[in-house]
Amino acid sequence: MSQESIQLKRAYDEVEEADGYRILVERLWPRGVKKEALHCQLWAKEMAPSKELRQWYQHDTAKFPEFQERYLAELADNPAKEKFLQTVQEALAEGPVTFVFSSKEERYNSASVLKAWVESQS
């Protein structure tokens, strides 16, 4: 993609200038966060896991390997993927990009899978 990188950040963490172009990568808006406080340039809910997959996973880290496999399959078939990848590439050309997520689990979440998938598409 570019020399800039994609960062991951919880929706509840402080917004910083170094975040660059912020993309909310959740299907549901983060609980208790006002839209003006999140400072996201894009809400890419169409790139988040399906409702069914999200409900099946329920942030059970023991299920993460299968969740990752299922989510990658969803991404492969996602009709919005080309436009999303283009948007991310264009933003990375200008500076850093931050995928904003709401999970308490900072490692085993959909944003980390999406980040790895986007980076593998370059």
Query: What is the identity of the amino acid at 16?
Result: E
What confidence score (pLDDT) does residue 38 get?
A: 94
| Segment (H or E) for 72 | helix 64-76
C-alpha span between 44 and 58 (Å, rounded) = 20
Q: How confident is the model at residue 3 (pLDDT cuts 50, 70, 90)?
A: low
For the segment 59-85, what is each residue's pLDDT rounded down to a tens digit?
899 999 999 999 999 999 999 999 999
Residue 76 has a CB neighbour count (10 Å cut-off) of: 9
Q: How confident is the model at residue 122 (pLDDT cuts 50, 70, 90)?
A: confident
| Segment (H or E) for 14 | none
Q: What is the mean pLDDT of residues 28-39?
A: 93
Sheet of 42-43: strand order equals 6-10, 97-101, 21-24, 42-43
Is the pTM higher than 0.85? yes
